[in-house]
Amino acid sequence: MKRHLTWILLLLTLLVGVLPGAAAAGMEKMTVTFYDEVSQSYGQPTVTDRINLTLDGAPLTPVDVPALVQYPAGSQNGRTLVPVRLISEALEATVTWVPETRQVVILREGSTIVLTLGSASALVDGKQVQLPDGIPAGVVKWEGKESTMVPLRFVSEQLGAQVEWQGDTATAAITSPKEEKPQPPTDPTGPEEGDLGWITGLDFDKTTQTFTVTADHTPQYRILDLGDRLAIDLLGAVYAPAVGKDLILSVESDAIEQIRCSQHGDDLGYGYPHTLRLVLDLASGVSYAQNLSVSAGGNQVRVSVSEAPEQPELPPLEPGKITIAIDPGHGGNQPGAVYPDANGNDVKEKDLTLPMSLMLAEILEDRGYNVVPTRTGDDSVSLADRAKMANAADAELFVSIHCNALDRNDYEGIFTYYYPNSTKGAALAQQVQDGVVAATGGIGRGTPSANFQVLRETTMPAVLVETGFMTHPGELARLCDPTYQQKIALGIANGIDAYLNNRT
């Protein structure tokens, strides 16, 4: 009997060592909803456990959504999720949100963590790593507030911190990375065995707006698009002026604010003894996709400014009329989703959103509105410029038109998105969603919020309408039909009228 009691006590001790579920004492309950990246909507309310946080003994308190436990299906042992910006900045890391790919990029001292919302794996310094228990990063809503949440232990340990579970107070205690004692300099005097060679020059030509990297070998490089920054890693390369210190190169450019240069060893995970990282800080409204091009030839890598940012040009606006900004998604060298129709011909999203937007513009103009389109042809327009155009026009409303896609072909329906915590945006989204569903007879999938750039950077109530799924054969056929496109345009116009007529 005594031996059995000993084994029972040992088993209980092991269970408490894992972040507990129902076995934990003193946990406060909270009701949250988790955003599903597949259906692009919030799930049903879930009751879970609230977690306290400390950093080096001091309370660490989230502003919006508290730390909480997410339990895998069928398991009582969960993983703690915390707001990404809270934990990253507490551990002296920077956070970048990439809306086009639904990714969070965390940077600290040359280390890079890329978390894709809804994915059970992450990229750590370019290597794929499975997340513990498959618990992904994701958006969580609690009491009307939303936060992007990430696994606490995984992110903390990747940033060099430690996490200890204190079950008696339901607290995750985080300890900052220990400061290393100064070591004798180990900076390279030159390339080592396994490296490719020297970087012999970094030059910026203000006339041609070209940044040139010159090497004594054929350079190998990787590009990381960080939204407001562009990182270029030169593999197996050493640049003597950057050894032992970070350099900042001043440039005369409207697109590039400065270029930072940092010499790394083998810490970036590329398999070379050294890597030179160049970071181009981009001016407001500039993006790699729209304004820069990277090319290589011989012993050089060149970054060229292909399109300088300009102030948006607006059509003539009639005083006294309400102005509506209409944004046909994608365009130019950004086709959006591409899927074959019933005849096997590729259909590009940009070729569906434009006619729908032009139809909408015509309806609104007939109803007495000013209309500002972000594009009227097959043009490349950055997300930042789309928002700038609407803001410069002092538009009353902003409507972006897109088509959806999934990795399955049996899901169809209409979504209308608004920016998180925008009361007016939510009201506009509901009216537009109701209008489109009524006009088309399509399946209404709801009005979730999302941190899309065009919704975030516009200063007026803004919505993004996902008019249907190109991956569903029947819905794709309807989206290609001008009669159905006209119904979508009419539904959006009716929703705009309803919103404006019901404002208080």
Give the Cα separation of 166 and 17 in Å (integer). 9
Q: Strand 300-305 to strand 292-297: parallel, antiparallel, or no bridges (unpaired)?
A: antiparallel
Integer angstrom CA distances of residue 353 from 238, 330, 404, 418, 430: 47, 8, 11, 18, 20
The residues near 183 (Cβ < 8 Å, ≥ 6 apart) are none
Return the structure tokens found at 108. 């600290």
Q: What are phi and psi of 14, to 5 degrees?
A: -65, -40
User: SS3 of 495, please?
Assistant: helix
φ, ψ at 356 (rounded to 5°):
-60, -40
CB 386 within 8 A of CB 332: no
Positive or negative torsion for Cα 121, 122, 126, 127 = negative
**Contacts of 3 by beta carbon, 8 Å cutoff, 6+ apart:** none
Indicate the length of the chain as a whole number: 504
Assess whether 318 carries a catalytic annotation: no
**C-alpha span between 106 and 158 (Å, rounded):** 10
Q: How far is CA 485 from the centre of its chain?
A: 29
d(CA 390, CA 80): 40
51 vs 14, 48, 167, CA distance in Å? Answer: 20, 10, 10
Would you call 273 helix, strand, or coil by DSSP? coil
Q: Given 146, 396, 457, 466, which residue is catalytic?
A: 466
Handedness of CA 98, 99, 101, 103 (dihedral sign): positive
Reduced to 3 states (helix: H, G, I; strand: E, B; else coil), residue 156 is helix
CB 278 within 8 A of CB 213: yes
Q: Is 494 in a helix, a strand, or coil?
A: helix
CB 209, CB 253: distance < 8 Å = yes
User: Which is nearest to 352 in space by CA: 481, 440, 233?
Assistant: 481
Query: Which is it for strands 103-108 and 94-98: parallel, antiparallel or unpaired?
Result: antiparallel
**Tally of CA atoms within 13 A in the half-sphere of 197 that contains its CB:** 12
- The neighbour count for residue 196, using CB atoms within 10 Å, is 20
Could you give the residue numbers annotated as active site? Answer: 466
